[in-house]
Structure 1
Amino acid sequence: MTPLSPPPIDSALAITAVLPRLKAALARHSAAVQVAPPGAGKTTAVPLALLEEEWLAGQRILLLAPRRLAARTAARRMAAMLGERVGRTVGYRVRLESRVGPDTRVEVVTEGVLTRMLQTDPSLAGVGLVIFDEFHERSLDADLGLALCRDIQGVLNETLRLLVMSATLDPVAVTGLLDQAPLIRCDGRAFAVETRYAGRPANRPLERRVVDVIRQSVAAGEGSLLVFLPGAPEIRRVDRLLNEGGLPAGWTTAPLYGYLPRDRQDAAIAPAPPGCYKIVLTTAIAETSLTIDGIAVVVDSGLQRAARFDPGSGMTRLVTLPVSRASADQRRGRAGRVGPGICYRLWTEATHQTLPPYNRPEILDADLAGLSLELAAWGVKTPDTLGWLDPPPAAAFQAASRLLMDLGALNKDGTISRHGRQMAELPLHPRLAHMLLMAKKESMGGLACRIAAILSERDPFHFGGRKRDADLRLRLAVLHPSGKGILPSIDECTLDAAATRRILTVAAMLQKRLGVTKTSPPTGDPGRVLGWAYPDRIAQRRAGTSGRFLLANGRGAYLNPSDPLSASDYLVVAHLDGERREARIFLAAATDRHTLLNQFADHIHWQESVAWDTRRQAVSAGRKQKLGTLVLADRPLTEPVPDRVLTAMLEGIRGNGLETLPWNRRLRNWQRRILLLARIDADGGPWPDVSDAALFGTLEAWLAPYLAGIVRLKQLTPDIFSKALGSQLTWRQGRLLEELAPSHILVPSGSRLPIDYRREIPVLAVRIQEMLGSAATPAIANGRMPLMLHLLSPAGRPAQITRDLAGFWQNSYAEVKRELKGRYPKHYWPDDPLQATPTARVRPKKPNQQ
């Protein structure tokens, strides 16, 4: 290979001032950290400047770019600096595209490509330097790539050097991970950027406020704009608003986001023609790595879209979040590349101080199934074997490992299986890789490749209104030449031709990797194929509803009732928004019970269920055929195990509460009598605790033996309940209860009256005339506790309350007699109550009446 002459690097680039220090650091150390502001030239100048270093010894440099567009752009710029075409000294590898040759020394690769290269050749033979550019983005693949490179450094590749670069990176943690690697800082040479905090009124939609600021800047003639929005839908809406309202002559809009066709991406980053201006509407894709010439103004919405994975549900949802201060600074820097610039921020200066300092690493919030499979293929069972800036969260990693076990990718001991290795060789999420391999076995590989391509790329349908059609079969239909004109019967639905072409390209690549012969059209059942990828998202329509579903993982999901799939009994769901209570379904395929029974026979089981039915207030016993949480069939259980019936009955009683048992006044009084004896430590103790709390906590001990054959509350009669309560007393206590705390007591008139035990001191309500002739207050507990007497008038109202009957006769009777005699003259009011005859009648019987 002919040595290169030193490449022409623009001395105006700020990075040139620190290149000697960087070269010296990498000559002495195996790693270094480079911090340089946006526009310093680190992405393109550093790899070229290091090409002829002695320690590199003619080996290749891998430059990691965060996105495909950034990789292609960086490679083209470096090739232009060398006066060459891409693919000679400088090339790139991205998904579905490679421009490298035998003389290529600098390969710009996306982060996932590096992982594939490491798995194919763990020594990275012929590679002397790996540069992690824009590492502050902290993507999952970048963190994994750095961990794997650190693992081989000095072992499988003894001369490998690592360089981590960023504009807004907090370098302390990175230098620590790299064994205190030297840190080289570069001061920027960017032009001054004026920051204007434009705010956003709460009642003003984001897109309209963005348009307001854009028009204000255009009217002021401030120059071409770069506008940061959270996602493609917002970009399309702002683009529409700007063009519907009209722009001055010479002004154009240029959307820029990941799924745009390559020619439109290239057009967006190209400089505007002389005398013209452009408004580039972009996502975070333009935050780093890309240089868009001619930008003088940045409008920053302050929002970004990020994925958040829930290990509990196994679902990922997209959330819109405020940007970090580091990201805001990156965006702001884009306005100072060619001259003094302006940055409009759609938030207040006070709000700016509350933003997080850095973006949250993706590894903390992502689905880790792919990471777990890569580690297993690397020979690592647990992440702590490797060095991480932020280790994968334990809950998410365990959820990922469980999924891989379910897919057959891992053996029981956690090592990768043969099936898992085949999955790891496919450039897909483990779910989709498993789907392809299973479908191939059943001659549906071609169909599976198309489904995987649809799921990996953007939806070929754009729905402008609120209605959607979630049917996967509709997407498959438009991929076939005869189906190009097929559209859902929904207003404002258009077909994205570029997305369709890319899906077909990806499908063809997957078919080649899978070794599947092309068929036109691919045959098979989409619902069955999709089920291999998402067995936990098989959905069953809830009874009596339209569009409401229960997933096999226990979560709820819904479709708009107008969606044709909403009436399906069963679906397999591919895309949904992951909301925690009830997720919205965006893409699914219909299936049926027969298919599920055949496909998941090993996962379906019969489960006997003996449980309390709250609606029927009875024990329900049945056999359920289940797939996850879904009940595919339900049969009655004619002879349930008695112990399970008893357990369910007790659960029902507990759920309803003790008050639902057949209490009556007599039984409640019985309960209070025993509680009284226990409280005063009466003879015959210890007396059992029969309080509601104690009874509730000991149902198995006293009630369970009396529930044999009982399956509903109505069958538990007061008589059975009384026997169950009484079982807590010994035979002796049963006798003593009537002696010490009788339910009734004999009064002087001969009446047998009930005692009320509801109060701390039991009450005997008795008419005054029935106590005549007696001075002794009635008592219980062998005389230890005088009763509280409610001495009643003839009308049954308390005339006196006392525990001292003798005192009443002596001190109060005369006054009570005077008050009541005039009201009840027919009743007996003797002058000397102690010598009078007690009576339950109006007057006592005369001697000749007896």
Structure 2
Amino acid sequence: MNTAPFNLERIGTGLPVADTIDQLTGLLHESGAVVIQAPPGTGKTTLIPPALANHTGGKVLVTAPRRVAVRAAARRLAQLDGSRLGERVGFSVRGEHHPGSMVEFLTPGVLLRRLLNDPSLEGVSAVAVDEVHERQLDTDLVLGMLIELRELRDDLQLAAMSATLDAQRYSELLGGPVLATPAVIHPLEVEYAPAEGRLSQRGVEWGFLDHLARRAVSAAERTGDSVLVFVPGVREVERVCRSAAGLTNLAVLPLHGRLSSREQDAALSPAEGARIVVSTSLAESSLTVPGVRVVVDSGLSRVPRRDAARGMSGLVTVSEARSTAEQRAGRAGREGPGLVIRAFSEADFRHLSSHITPEIRTSDLTQAALQLACWGTPRGEGLPLLDAPPAPAMRDAEEVLRGLGAIDKQGAVTRRGRSLASMPVSPPLGAALLEHGAGAAEVAACLAEDPRGDITVQLRALRGQRSFEREVKRLRRLAGADRGVVDPGRAVATAFPGQVARLEDPTKQEYLLASGTRAELPTDLGLSGAPWLAVAEVTRAGSRAIIRAAARVSEEDALAAIGVEKVLSASVVSGRVRGREIRRAGAIELSATPVKVTAEQAAGALADGVRQQGLGMFHFSEKAAGLLQRLEFLHTQLGDPWPDPTAADPLEWLGPELRSLAGGGPINKIDMYPALQRLLPWPEATKLAELAPERLQVPSGNSHRVDYATGRPVVAVKLQECFGLASSPELAGVAVQFHLLSPAARPLAVTDDLSSFWSGPYVQVRAEMRGRYPRHPWPEDPWSAQATAKTKRRM
């Protein structure tokens, strides 16, 4: 085995990082951790790993967020080293493993599973986590686990690398210094080329994608340079490629994660003459597409989002962050002066959010929750993470995991949970493999990649494809005994029981999912009219939920997956309690029978109704509604001990009201104000009038009602009553928003910055209003004027 040090001088030829690499050893001696900040094209991914290997004398692991980037980085370093891929330099991605004795590139997901199997990373001397600025969930978790591991292994060296990051924040997290490499700046010309109708409820509009194709072809023919086009997903890549190919004789190549290695290499290899490469976010970082001097940016990104209200998670298309726009633009300036064509306006660019939203804040956390439990830090408690996982998302994730038998009541991992975590698929798909054995491998391989349309039809199309068959073979080996071929619908239902759906409205093709979400089935999926569906993917489109991938499933298999139960339901009909015995599968009602209920049963059933549907059945007087809104406001702003009325146990604070209703009392006679008073925490309740007062006194001496209905304190008051008030009072840390009214109580302005209002917009308001309301004061100097609700004569 060749263990000679890497020739850094040869590998680093022409790379700007080579100018700062000599500092690496000294910085690592300080703390064993370092933050590498180096712009795109400076060579950090190529030169830092062999430098770490030379420094530590052991094996180095390097993570990169995407399989394409992992393969490309390993091949490039092996080529520069003059060794065969898999000897000194290797890579590991899902389904493909070439270990390498000195440097191994791998995805964060692969490293996560390796850490769970071998928490001490025996035989590894250093780890470099690349592209941490992308804030992918797996990357954040890996970094947290490695920081914790370094507390036990002080010989383990750690580097966090990125082109653009908050270096100081990462430096504090790792406890190490920053090694920065200056950017190689080539001038960039920026053009803005907006087009109408980028997005609709159906997704990215074809017309907009054709606009991108025309811009790319025009730029390539005008400049004679290669063009890189950024779009949000595979579907959009395919459309732009077809459209551009019909407009030019230049080579038009796709670049995305579902292509074969050979197809990806075609886009990443040098070529003579201009060409057009259409890519997903894959080419934003880590990868270099040779010859590119022009970038056409759609301005769109596809990111994971969790819809807690509907119990859905999936990828949605959004406007990119400004940091993403700048990262994409940088691709045009890697090899020389470049051109960036942004398919949106300059005003749109100015209004983009500054940074990418971390996935840990927006994603489904089911798999992350299982990995954290396996690591011994349930819910991420105590793990050094840049952002803690949101508590509601973590609660939902743990509920799913308990349903799978993966964790116990305390959140600790079970034996079954460790089996699920060891599988290279999500816990729900892992559960299908454990349940059905190797017969479910085909369905699991299909769902793990990109389920679309009718799963049964998609499976027929995938069979025979080399990469798919290789993944199926691997999953069969992991799943154990073959129990025969499993119907796709049954396998999908086992994996996602909450997404089993029954047809509710044939005219609209509307289905009710077991989770309670109503979703529409597009007519082009080939599943119209199916009485039951096992849904693999459901996404949000505006206010609607749309089924994107599903398989037909029999009613027997559907009910077996969901589970059937009988429950007693009590509801208020015409102001009186009515009881029903319901047979249901999740939220899907199978049958219902009217029954008499005792007062105790009715009270318990009504409490269940409040837990599921909220307080909508009750009538709130103005006084009660005001107290409810004040409590909700204080809970949102201050948290405990101020309660969330919608989350509190109804039997504890609504007991007397529920018993009255259950005993036959009319619902419209129930006073909710005393019930809400029972929720007040003591002794903190003595500060209620200070923290969230019912009324607020203004400079005129009058007091006005504070409205908390919007979630923030709002006071509607005549403008003249606020003369001299320089700043908005704060309630529970939130500035009061003033709705300033005319003498006729019509809105003139909305502000929580009165100082700015008096110094600016007031001048225009005064000019317009003094002639309309001459009997009321409109002084030039509102700061020193007497605040009043009276006319000038009455003053």
Amino acid at match of 2:127: V
Asked if the contact 1:65–1:134 (Cα under 8 Å) also holds between the matched residues in 2, the reply is yes
Residue 467 of structure 2 corresponds to residue 475 of structure 1: no
* Identical counterparts, % of pairs: 35
Paired residues for 1:346-385 under 5 Å: 346-385=343-382
Q: 1:220 to 1:645 in 2, by over 3 A?
A: closer
CA distance in 2, matches of 1:657, 1:233: 50
- Name the structure 2 match of 1:77: 76
CA distance in 2, matches of 1:701, 1:419: 43
Judge which range, 418-427 or 219-228, deviates more.
219-228
Which ranges in structure 2 are unaligned for 5 or more consecutive residues?
199-204, 610-615, 621-655, 669-795
CA distance in 1, matches of 2:605, 2:406: 40
Q: 1:119 to 1:398 in 2, by over 3 A?
A: same
Amino acid at match of 1:187: P
- Name the structure 2 match of 1:409: 406
Q: 1:109 to 1:555 in 2, by over 3 A?
A: same
| Cα distance, 1:702 vs structure 2 | 11
Match for residue 383 of structure 2 among 383, 386, 394: 386
Match for residue 183 of structure 1 among 152, 159, 178: 178
Residue 638 of structure 2 corresponds to residue 641 of structure 1: no
Q: 1:126 to 1:529 in 2, by over 3 A?
A: same
Paired residues for 1:416-431 under 5 Å: 416-431=413-428
Residue 476 of structure 2 corresponds to residue 511 of structure 1: yes
Paired residues for 1:514-663 under 5 Å: 514-517=479-482, 522-542=484-504, 545=507, 547-560=509-522, 564-579=526-541, 581-600=543-562, 603-613=563-573, 620-637=578-595, 639-641=596-598
Q: 1:45 to 1:136 in 2, by over 3 A?
A: same
Q: 1:583 to 1:10 in 2, by over 3 A?
A: same
Q: 1:613 to 1:302 in 2, by over 3 A?
A: same
CA distance in 2, matches of 1:142, 1:126: 21
Asked if the contact 2:500–2:534 (Cα under 8 Å) also holds between the matched residues in 1, the reply is yes
Match for residue 439 of structure 2 among 424, 438, 447: 447
Paired residues for 1:719-738 under 5 Å: none
Asked if the contact 1:555–1:581 (Cα under 8 Å) also holds between the matched residues in 2, the reply is no
Amino acid at match of 1:163: A
What value does the CA root-mean-square deviation take over the aligned residues? 3.2
Q: After superposition, what is the alpha-carbon deviation per residue over 1:558-597, rounded to whole angstroms, capped at 9, x for unaligned? A: 2135755332332221111145754211222233443345
CA distance in 1, matches of 2:43, 2:334: 11
Amino acid at match of 2:246: E
| Cα distance, 1:192 vs structure 2 | 2.4
Judge which range, 590-599 or 426-435, deviates more.
590-599
Asked if the contact 1:235–1:281 (Cα under 8 Å) also holds between the matched residues in 2, the reply is yes
- Name the structure 2 match of 1:194: 189
Q: 1:409 to 1:657 in 2, by over 3 A?
A: closer
Residue 138 of structure 2 corresponds to residue 173 of structure 1: no
SS of corresponding position for 2:220 = helix
Residue 300 of structure 2 corresponds to residue 338 of structure 1: no
Match for residue 456 of structure 1 among 448, 451, 456: 448
- Name the structure 1 match of 2:767: none
Amino acid at match of 1:449: A
Asked if the contact 1:556–1:581 (Cα under 8 Å) also holds between the matched residues in 2, the reply is no
Asked if the contact 1:612–1:620 (Cα under 8 Å) also holds between the matched residues in 2, the reply is yes
| Cα distance, 1:34 vs structure 2 | 1.2
- Name the structure 1 match of 2:719: none
Match for residue 319 of structure 1 among 310, 316, 321: 316
- Count the aligned residue pairs: 618
- Name the structure 2 match of 1:670: none
- Name the structure 2 match of 1:3: 4
Asked if the contact 2:439–2:476 (Cα under 8 Å) also holds between the matched residues in 1, the reply is no
Asked if the contact 1:256–1:265 (Cα under 8 Å) also holds between the matched residues in 2, the reply is yes
Q: 1:610 to 1:198 in 2, by over 3 A?
A: closer
SS of corresponding position for 1:565 = coil
CA distance in 2, matches of 1:643, 1:415: 36
Match for residue 137 of structure 2 among 135, 140, 144: 140
Asked if the contact 1:39–1:190 (Cα under 8 Å) also holds between the matched residues in 2, the reply is no
CA distance in 1, matches of 2:281, 2:344: 17
Larger radius of gyration, structure 1 or 2? 1
Amino acid at match of 2:80: M
- Name the structure 1 match of 2:97: 98
Q: 1:244 to 1:140 in 2, by over 3 A?
A: same
Amino acid at match of 1:303: L
Asked if the contact 2:603–2:659 (Cα under 8 Å) also holds between the matched residues in 1, the reply is no
CA distance in 1, matches of 2:389, 2:420: 21
| Cα distance, 1:363 vs structure 2 | 1.0
Asked if the contact 2:306–2:363 (Cα under 8 Å) also holds between the matched residues in 1, the reply is yes
Q: After superposition, what is the alpha-carbon deviation per residue over 1:512-546, rounded to whole angstroms, capped at 9, x for unaligned? A: 112234x8xx5233333222211111212216656
CA distance in 1, matches of 2:363, 2:35: 26
Q: 1:634 to 1:564 in 2, by over 3 A?
A: farther
- Name the structure 2 match of 1:718: none
- Name the structure 1 match of 2:155: 159
CA distance in 1, matches of 2:335, 2:458: 45
Normalising by structure 1, what TM-score? 0.68
Q: After TM superposition, what 4+ stretches of structure 1 lie above 4 angstroms from structure 2?
A: 201-204, 477-480, 543-546, 561-564, 596-600, 617-620, 642-649, 654-658, 698-705
CA distance in 1, matches of 2:193, 2:140: 36
Asked if the contact 2:320–2:352 (Cα under 8 Å) also holds between the matched residues in 1, the reply is yes
Asked if the contact 2:600–2:659 (Cα under 8 Å) also holds between the matched residues in 1, the reply is no
Judge which range, 27-36 or 215-224, deviates more.
215-224
Amino acid at match of 1:166: S
Amino acid at match of 2:21: L
Q: 1:551 to 1:19 in 2, by over 3 A?
A: same
| Cα distance, 1:3 vs structure 2 | 2.6
SS of corresponding position for 1:194 = strand
CA distance in 2, matches of 1:322, 1:95: 30
Q: After superposition, what is the alpha-carbon deviation per residue over 1:334-393, rounded to whole angstroms, capped at 9, x for unaligned? A: 122222222222233333222222211111111111110001111122312111111111
SS of corresponding position for 2:581 = strand
Q: 1:90 to 1:540 in 2, by over 3 A?
A: same
Q: After superposition, what is the alpha-carbon deviation per residue over 1:685-728, rounded to whole angstroms, capped at 9, x for unaligned? A: xxxxxxxxxxxxx99999998x69x9x99xxxxxxxxxxxxxxx
CA distance in 2, matches of 1:95, 1:702: 61
- Name the structure 2 match of 1:113: 110
SS of corresponding position for 1:566 = coil
Amino acid at match of 2:598: V
CA distance in 1, matches of 2:299, 2:511: 36
CA distance in 2, matches of 1:539, 1:390: 35
Paired residues for 1:235-246 under 5 Å: 235-245=237-247
CA distance in 2, matches of 1:65, 1:643: 59
| Cα distance, 1:45 vs structure 2 | 1.2
Amino acid at match of 1:122: P
Asked if the contact 2:438–2:480 (Cα under 8 Å) also holds between the matched residues in 1, the reply is no
Q: After superposition, what is the alpha-carbon deviation per residue over 1:279-314, rounded to whole angstroms, capped at 9, x for unaligned? A: 001111001011111111111122111110123433
CA distance in 1, matches of 2:51, 2:35: 16
Amino acid at match of 1:194: E
CA distance in 2, matches of 1:456, 1:153: 33
Q: 1:334 to 1:612 in 2, by over 3 A?
A: same
- Name the structure 1 match of 2:326: 329
Q: 1:573 to 1:291 in 2, by over 3 A?
A: same
Q: 1:39 to 1:563 in 2, by over 3 A?
A: closer
| Cα distance, 1:75 vs structure 2 | 0.6
CA distance in 1, matches of 2:53, 2:81: 12
Paired residues for 1:36-51 under 5 Å: 36-51=38-53
SS of corresponding position for 1:159 = coil
